[in-house]
Structure 1
Amino acid sequence: MSSAAGGGAVGVQDVLNALQQLYSDPNPSVKSAANEALQHFQKTQEAWSTANALLLTQDLPLESRLFGAQTFRSKITFDLQQLPLDAQLSLRDTLIDALAIYAAGPRVVQTQLCLALAALALQLPESQWPNVVPGMIDRFGKSADTVNVLLEFLSVLPEEVAQNHRIPVSNATYHERMPQLLTQQATVVLELLSMYIRAEGVTTSIQETIFHCLRSWLKAGEVSANQLAATPLLPLTFEALESDALFDVAVDVLCDLIHETQEIDENQAVIQVLLPRIQALRPALIQAGDDEDRVRGLCRIFVQAGETYHTLFLQHATELLPIVQAILECASYHDLDIVQITFRFWYLLATHVHKAEAEHNPAVVPFREVYEQLFAIIIRHLHFPNEELTGQERDDFRSFRHYMGDTLKDCCYVLGAEVCLARSLHMIETALAEESPTLRWQDIEAPLFSMRSMGAQVDLRENDVIPRIFAIIPRLPPHPRLRYAGLLVLSRYTEWVEQHPERIPEVLTFITTGFDRSDKDISAAAAQAMNFLCQDCCEHLAPYFGQLLEFFQSIKDQLAVDDLLAIAEAIAHVIAAMPSAEAIDSLVQFTQPLLGNVHEITLLPSPSKPDLMRAADRMEQLARILQVIGVSLASALPESCAATCSTAYGILDRLLEQHGNAYFISERTSALIRRALIFFGPRAEPTLPALLERFASCFESTGYSGYVWIIGKSIDQFGHPAGAQLHSLLARALERVTAKVVQLLHATPPDQLSDVLDDYLHTCLVTVQAAPGMLINAPIFPHAVQTAVLALGAVSPAVHGIASDFLRALFELPGTPAGAGYLEPVRQVVAEQGFAVCQAMLRGLVTFFPPENMPVVVGTIKALQPLAQDALLAWLAAAAEQLPPSAVSQEDTVKFLQALQSAPLSPEQIKPSLVVLYGASRKSRERARLDNEVVGNT
């Protein structure tokens, strides 16, 4: 189809050849070219006649005829204005005739033709195509051979009119046409469906299509519940539940109907009809047994009724309790996919039961009993299966347990958290008391898990059940699953321990003995419990610091990295809660051995990768410790800490000198130094000369982004105010980094440098904010701006987002009090790069920028206006002319330029004109999506 790409006429054979290449040629590049050519063809004027020929040539393959029908749909949606009115009416007649030709199938062609007619009906006024629905009924509704076509059209019509926002009609046209097509025809459609579904000889297949059509009108809101209830369709839908073939669609219709009655006051009459029929389904639920599909469908009906009428249950307890009991039966079913359908209902009902209890309403009694049963059911579902689960099954079950935990919280809301907690504890006590040889670990683990789930609901002043929990957990059988679960339960109740500090020794002992090196799950649970205990009880744990430190030293070479991080963080919380002088001494005791481990590795002549990984782990632990401490000790640090900072940096500097080309070393070192700069504050300034030299040098040799990140953080923290010497050092580091970034961009596309560009442009942004002269007065300034312009073309949202932020801040700077002195250099760089900025901004806006970037684009273009009043309009016009035709048509480009009006361009014109351009691009993107669906589904 080269003629399509070149703009020439495209014939049937061209399309057939392209379709043959798309679906039969093994060469991916040929397939891609064919796909692109077909999409281009669909936008051309010739596509109308070619699609018609494809559609009506019956001896062509189905793929070709389907492509013709789909092309009509695409053209009517996006290009109807290509046809004069008389041709549009002729098109309507052609499609209706084609629908008659395809009355016997295939169904996929019927559907595309019906979609095309629905889109056409919305765009043609009543004066041109009056009585659409009655006309289609008259044409196709009188013969059994064409009823299926009519029902398909009536099914897609509400969906297209109400939901397809790609059809280009004005709000006024839409609000005029929709009632004519739908609202005014609802009664006609209901009468038609009622007649068809009872017609002599009607097939199950036609009945299924009737129900699908009914559902379409219900979901669109064009058939009201009251209208439907007045027809035979309502009882027939309930009767359809007895048919295997009609069961699923009948369930869908009933759920939609119940949903449509959510305005309870307006639908009381319908609800009074529905509820007895829904209640009457309960025996069918019991009879369904192991038929999971039937149970699922009936469960959906009961739950939909429960969720829709949840405000009525306490008012009409006697009448509606059977529905709640039916939902309870669904919740007790063995299939957890069905069980979860009920969860939202229990949440909604719990709110009303809780409120009624507070009002001492006696109607709550049976509902409390339901929640008591529900509690026991959920505990049963929490049991791990006896059979061994696969890895994915185990992960899915663990994830699902947390959803069940939320339903336990609903039980707590109704029954009281302490009552539920006591019930779980009683289950454990009973299981332990039996001492049966058949005792299963699941019988203890499930209620343990429930205790963990309910922890947030428990009153911390509770002193009956929780002490018994803390007493029983250390006595659990030595099963790994129980040990794991017990540790997680303790971690959930550490806030209670904070109010009962006398419990700390036993809890601490239980946790520390949980670091079983043979079971990583138990160790992870113990680390989590230690972390929560130290966070919540930090003020009580200072006397245990020595014990904690000794414990950490004993296990730091044996536990998993994440577990050690959790423990390091835990001990840091204890330090942070100490008085300043004591905290500083404790911090030194804690961190010196870790830093010493790093130093030892720098002294090795040829450290192995495990050695370097160990150094990286120690640095990560140090960074986490300093992250917890933050700046809380900054004011109390003695002046001698400046020397400590320099000594510590010396160790890291040696590590970078030797192994800075290892990526993980660069990342861990950068993270630690960032935390150290925050912690030491001004006392870190003596380290900056060596630090900046090292990091600039490392970036020059490796191109790792972490080194740029730290230079940017240094400028952010120390750039304003900075003395002449430090200012010079920071500026020199920025120059070296910029030179390396420019070098990298010469050899590598921006999308392959996302991390580097992200950190570099953040550095440029903070420099403009903290010390603008460091960048603007430097020779690197044009290179930095050019880098940002190139970054605007990166697909990564983070990269083009920070590039936009930097450019906007730079262009707005001369208009601020602090930036008045930078007007000329900024204006000069705008003169050099302004067109490129406009070009990149517009291209990004109409292709890959996310919608939230629109304000940034508008702000950046507005910021350019006072810097280049005479040139901006020409830049925007030239940039618009170069936009890809696939993103914005020539016609839409002209509209954009007209919206800009004339020079000189005013700020008030910028946003509306960009909105016009963006709207056009959204239309093109929608078309591309539809065309992809069209070609891909052929």
Structure 2
Amino acid sequence: MATAPAANSTQHQGPKLPPHSGDVDEELGRIRLALAAVFSPSNSGNGSEQWWAQRQLADQYLTSFQATSVSWMVCDRLLQGDISDVVAQDALPSLRDSLLAHLNRYAADGSEGPLSTRLAMCISALAVQMQWTTVVSDLLATPQNVHVVMLILRALPEECASDRLVLADDAYRFKMRDHLVSFAPNVLQFLHAHVTDASRVLKVLHLWIRYVPVHPQTLVESPLLNAAVQASLPLDEALQSDDEDVLRAYCRVVTEMGESYMSLILSPQYLEASQLVSWVLKCSGMANQEIASITLHFWYRLVMDLESVDPYDWRQELIDAYTPHLLQLIDVCIKSLMRYPADMDTIPEDLLDELTRHRFYVAETVEDCCRLLGGQNVLQRIGNLLQQEIHAASGNQVWQGLESCLACIGAIHRFVPSDEAELLPLTFQLVPQLPTEIRPLRYTASKTIGKFASWLAFHPHLLQPLMPYLAQGLSVPECAPAAAVAIKELCECSNQSFAIAEPVMELFQGLTPGTLEVEDELQILEGVCRALSRQMQDARGRGNDTQAALTRLAQPIGTRLAASVSEPNSSPRRIIPEIERLTVLVRYLVILYDGNATTGLHPMLELTTSIWSFLDAAVIRFPGDIVLAEKICRLHKHSLRSCGAQAYSPMLDRLMTQLVQSFERSHQSPFLYAASICIAEYGSDSTYSNRLLGMVSAMATTCFSFLRNVDELTAHPDVVEELFYMMGRMMSNCPDPLVQSPLLRSLLQCAAVGMQLDHHGANKGTLKFLENTISYGLSLREQKKPACQAPLEEALSQEGQAIVVNLMKAMMGDLPEYGNSQIPEILWKLNLLCPGLLTQWLHSAFAGTLTLPEGAKNDFIAALDTGLARDEFSMAVRAFQTACERQRRLRKGPRRN
């Protein structure tokens, strides 16, 4: 009796609604089914009652769905995909009208809340998908609610161009774009009629300029832009407004117009178009640097496009026409864009980083001006401003103008002639007199000294007060990086009349380790090495001087290294700086060595031998420290390259043994990288082939001991990356012993697994090995090496299918794909090497795939069968990937990476 009422009640109420899911993908599937039921055609036959009941149930589910937390995400996904399989074509107008009614209701008060904005986006996306190619004309015909029309006009161009909008046929997008272009004049007239709402008009205009290729003449003839600004405030007053929204909107519109209509600016109508350039210039001079920086890309485009104008006479006419604008732009950069704010000391660290990036782009803008105006003209312009700032700064603490001028002078150093004798002498005489306590000013001054090192090398009399200035700057933490780099750059320009190796060496040796950041100390040491190298080259043959300089620099470092390694409480952080110092010494101190047996070992090899035991002890003591391993391997690499392969050969076996043993102990990837350097240096010499094979075989055995499945490969992506780059070098430099070894097949098996890793380096390294292997197979066609060709073909025939299946999965989006250029190359070469096998493997790869359009598959197979050239085949691969990506997004959403 207790269950009867429940049963009767169930029969009366009908089936219960399933609960909503919090998972977007799962709920999206249910919503598709519900929409299909709601919008399915009615059935007037015997099943009409059942049809009506299902429709009512689906309607209830959709109604309750609107209150769930995932509803917006599901609706967004739904409208970004192809809706033709969800809503019947004859029901689309009803859906559109419903959305328009909702938008009119929510936007009736003129507000721009997230709901009304999202509805406008939905309507715009739907318009493209249902090919509503009269949308603009329909909206403008009866604009009952101007605000609603503005919302849709603002969303429509961006949605039409958006990659998020996945269409069954891209022709829909092109048709809508043609419609927008044809009705652009009508839209401009509509916006002009409502120009009093300047903020909204500017937002709409900005997006139409960005996404719709409106004809330049249409825009030139429209008074809209000027009217929109004047409706808010007169132009000059608008630029001083405190309303950042108005300023940003105006600046974006003007900049977008300038970039979109660059062809008009550089056309015979440049006199009319110059007004647009003037507007951009005024925007560049806005007090708000963040908004003014919006215009910087326009100036870059103007310079680049002007440089490409032909013929030369026409280009020069345009340059002459825009020279006044560019000269004013230099003034703007110095007086406004490059200028540090007055509250510099209180700016948070994250905003300082943004300010640094901003100043970098301003410096590039000033440099770009030199490309058209010449370095001397730009320098003269900056010099005039510098003179003004010197007078303005005398007797007070206003330093920003001086700093801005120095920063811009440094930015154009590459364009200033070496015989400049007016402004630069004044500048470098001024530097030692600048206030030393203003750290940003000192930093920029030090940096500028380094930028003009080559000029100072021809004017050494100016350097005498500058070197103490830089040396003192090393004691200021904020200025030390610039001072250290400047010292290095001066050393790079050392010559017989500008010999600074000895004073800088004394400066370096006078530094107490730890007083400077290691990076700054290494900059000075590099400078010492470069200056000494130039000095030794000028005095060729003085071997004693070379050995003495090397000993003088290396001995203190080696002593500290030995102490750091042996000290009981030592750590990698104490050892690493000494290894970095030795690396700089080995890399940048160029020693002339004739290679004769009578001269003994190369001095750098002697140095390496003397510290070998300490390096080995450090690796044994700290096997798990990857930074230490990287630094030691980097030292070995530069030692080998500094000596040269022939001079280093007595140490090669010892190095390879150490790399194998160190990798076996630590499983650290830098040892694999160092091994690949050995292959690059010695692989082309057949006398080393077997020894190199022994090294890589031992390392591969170690790898396979802890890389046994995809999870273990995923846990060590750096090892996978370096393993396959190393093996790729073997295949490029000495492939024969590897191809004849059983190791090749194991590597191909491992590569098939490594291709599945969602790691850029591991994925690329794996593909590089495969590409090199197949390239070698093709080269064997012209070589008579049956002992190599047979095992290679056998290994590929056994393991090729798994590799090709994974390649196709990557192209279809089922596996990560980072080899944008490598995958087409591998397939193209495989098709040359073994076309029949490749076809079989492809059919296995295509079997059972849901994301593969039949037409795309057939076109891809045809591209293989017709034997296209490499570039044409790459285009066919891209077309195949695009079709698969569209199909995937229509079904499941975007690909994994």
The correspondence for 1:118, drawn from 127, 137, 153, is 127
Q: Is residue 478 of structure 1 aligned with residue 433 of structure 2?
A: no
Paired residue for 2:383?
422
Aligned pairs for 1:50-129 within 5 A:
56-57=59-60, 59-63=63-67, 67=71, 74=78, 77-78=81-82, 80=84, 88-92=88-92, 94-96=94-96, 98-99=98-99, 102=102, 104=105, 107=116, 110-111=119-120, 114=123, 117-122=126-131
Residue 515 (structure 1) aligned to one of 439, 458, 474 = 474
| 1:270 and 2:274 are equivalent in the alignment | no
**Deviation readout 1:162-184 (Å, 9 max, x if unpaired):** 65685545577876xx2xx675x
Shift of 1:926: 2.8
Q: Give the secondary-structure state (helix, strand or coil) at the position aligned to 1:238.
A: coil
Contact 1:115/1:157 (<8 A) preserved: yes
Q: Deviations over 1:197-252 (max 9, x none)?
A: xxxxxxxxxxxxxxxxxxxxxxx423234x556x4x354243333xxxxx233454
TM-score, normalised on structure 1?
0.75
The counterpart of 2:36, out of the listed 37, 40, 48, is 48
Matches within 5 A, 1:634-653: 639-642=599-602, 645=605, 648-649=608-609, 651-653=611-613
8 A Cα contact 1:619 1:668, kept in partner: yes
Aligned pair in 2 of structure 1 residues 848, 508: CA closer, same or farther (>3 Å)? farther
1:675 maps onto 2:638 in alignment: yes
SS of the counterpart of 1:478? Answer: coil
Question: Unpaired segments of 5 or more residues in structure 2?
Answer: 1-13, 41-54, 107-114
Matched, 1:733 2:690: no
Cα shift readout 1:471-513 (whole Å, capped 9, x = no counterpart): 2211222314143332122112212112223434443333233
Q: Counterpart in 1 of 2:742?
A: 779
The CA distance in 2 between the partners of 1:365 and 1:714, in whole Å, is: 55
2:451 equivalent to 1:492: yes
Structure 1 unaligned runs (5+)?
1-11, 23-33, 123-128, 187-219, 242-246, 934-938
Task: Label 1:443 to 1:865 Cα distance change in 2 as closer, same or farther (>3 A).
Answer: closer
CA separation of 1:100 and 1:803: change in aligned 2, threshold 3 A: closer
Q: 1:223-238, aligned counterparts within 5 Å?
A: 223-225=183-185, 227=186, 231=189, 233=190, 235-238=192-195
Specify the alignment match of 1:197 in structure 2: none
Aligned to 1:743: 705
CA distance in 2, matches of 1:556, 1:650: 24
Determine the C-alpha separation between the residues in 1 that align with 2:830 and 2:392.
75
Displacement of 1:319 after TM fit?
9.1
**Partner SS state of residue 778, structure 1:** coil
The offset of 1:706, in angstroms, is 1.2
Which residue number in structure 1 is paired with residue 615 of structure 2?
655
Q: In terms of mean alpha carbon deviation, does 92-101 or 446-455 score higher?
A: 92-101
The separation in 1 between residues aligned to 2:227 and 2:125, in whole angstroms, is 42
1:17 alignment partner, SS class: coil
- Is 1:577 the counterpart of 2:581? The answer is no
Tell me the equivalent position of 2:406: 448
The number of aligned residues is 832
Query: For residues 319 and 820 of structure 2, what CA distance do their matches in structure 1 show?
Result: 55
1:857-868 equivalences under 5 Å are 857-864=823-830
1:881 aligns with 2:847: yes
Change (3 A) 1:444 1:135: closer
Contact 1:576 1:629 in 2 (8 A): yes
Q: Partner residue of 2:789?
A: 823
Bigger shift: residues 814-823 or 546-555: 814-823
Find out whether 1:253 has 2:205 as its counterpart.
yes
CA deviation after TM superposition for structure 1 residue 554, in Å: 1.4
Distance 1:597 1:278, change over 3 A: closer
Aligned residue number for residue 6 of structure 1: none
Matched, 1:562 2:519: yes
| TM-score scaled by length of structure 2 | 0.78
Distance 1:792 1:683, change over 3 A: same
Would you say the 8 A contact 1:95–1:113 is kept in 2?
A: no
Aligned with 2:857 (options 896, 910, 913):
896
**Alpha-carbon offset, residue 930 of structure 1:** 5.0
CA distance in 2, matches of 1:238, 1:565: 61
Q: Which residue of 2 aligns with 1:192?
A: none
Structure 2 counterpart of 1:334, one-letter code: A
Report what 1:335 is aligned to. 288
Q: Does the CA contact (< 8 Å) of 2:557 and 2:582 recur in 1?
A: no
CA distance in structure 1 between the aligned counterparts of 2:825 and 2:894, rounded to whole angstroms: 33
* Aligned partner letter, 1:92: L
Deviation at 1:692, TM superposition (A): 1.2
Aligned to 1:551: 507
Distance verdict in 2 for CA 1:160–1:618, change over 3 Å: closer
SS at match of 1:713: helix
* 1:764 has 2:720 as partner: no
1:250–1:664 distance in 2 versus 1, CA, 3 Å: closer
Distance 1:113 1:349 in 2: 37
Q: Secondary structure at the match of 2:419?
A: coil
**Structure 2 CA distance for aligned equivalents of residues 601 and 285 of structure 1:** 66
What is the Cα deviation at residue 770 of structure 1? 1.7
Equivalent position of 1:806 in the other structure = 769
In structure 2, C-alpha distance between the alignment counterparts of 1:796 and 1:867, rounded to whole Å: 29
2:676 aligned residue (685, 688, 712): 712
Letter in 1 for 2:516: L
In structure 2, the CA distance between the partners of 1:848 and 1:579, relative to structure 1 (3 Å rule), is: farther
Specify the alignment match of 2:19 in structure 1.
17
User: RMSD of the alignment, in Å?
Assistant: 4.9
Shift of 1:842: 2.0
The CA deviation at 1:452 is 2.7
With over 3 angstroms needed to count, the CA separation of the structure-2 counterparts of 1:896 and 1:548, relative to structure 1, is same
1:826 aligned counterpart, secondary structure: helix
Contact 2:206 2:253 in 1 (8 A): yes
The yes-or-no answer on 1:290 pairing with 2:242 is yes
User: Retained in 1: the 8 A contact 2:205–2:253?
Assistant: no
Change (3 A) 1:702 1:47: farther
Structure 1 637/896 Cα, relative in aligned 2: closer, same or farther at 3 Å? farther
Distance 2:203 2:416 in 1: 40
Letter in 1 for 2:486: A
Helix, strand or coil for the counterpart of 1:746?
coil
Q: CA deviation at 1:830?
A: 1.9
CA distance in structure 1 between the partners assigned to 2:707 and 2:318 by the alignment: 73
Cα shift at 1:671: 0.3
Of 95-104 and 780-789, deviating more is 95-104
- Superposed counterparts of 1:135-174, under 5 Å: 167-168=166-167
Alpha-carbon separation, structure 1, partners of 2:721 and 2:320: 63
**1:733 Cα deviation (Å)?**
1.6
Hey, what's the Cα distance between the residues in 2 that align with 1:90 and 1:385?
Answer: 63
1:718-743 deviation line (CA, Å, top 9, x unaligned): 133243xx444322221110011101
Do the aligned partners of residues 921 and 469 (structure 1) sit closer, same or farther apart at CA in structure 2, a change above 3 Å counting?
A: same
Verify the 8 A CA contact 1:534 1:574 in the aligned structure 2: yes
In the alignment, what sits opposite 1:212?
Answer: none
In terms of mean alpha carbon deviation, does 702-711 or 99-108 score higher?
99-108
Determine the structure 2 residue equivalent to 1:789.
752
CA displacement at 1:751 relative to structure 2: 2.6
Deviates more, 1:815-824 or 1:753-762: 815-824
Paired residue for 2:658?
A: 694
Q: Which amino acid aligns with 1:91?
A: A
How has the CA–CA distance of structure 1 residues 850 and 635 changed in structure 2, closer, same or farther, with 3 Å as cutoff? Answer: farther
Kindly indicate whether the alpha-carbon contact (under 8 Å) linking 1:488 and 1:529 is maintained by their aligned counterparts in 2: yes
Amino acid corresponding to residue 746 of structure 2 in structure 1: H
**SS of equivalent to 2:182:** coil
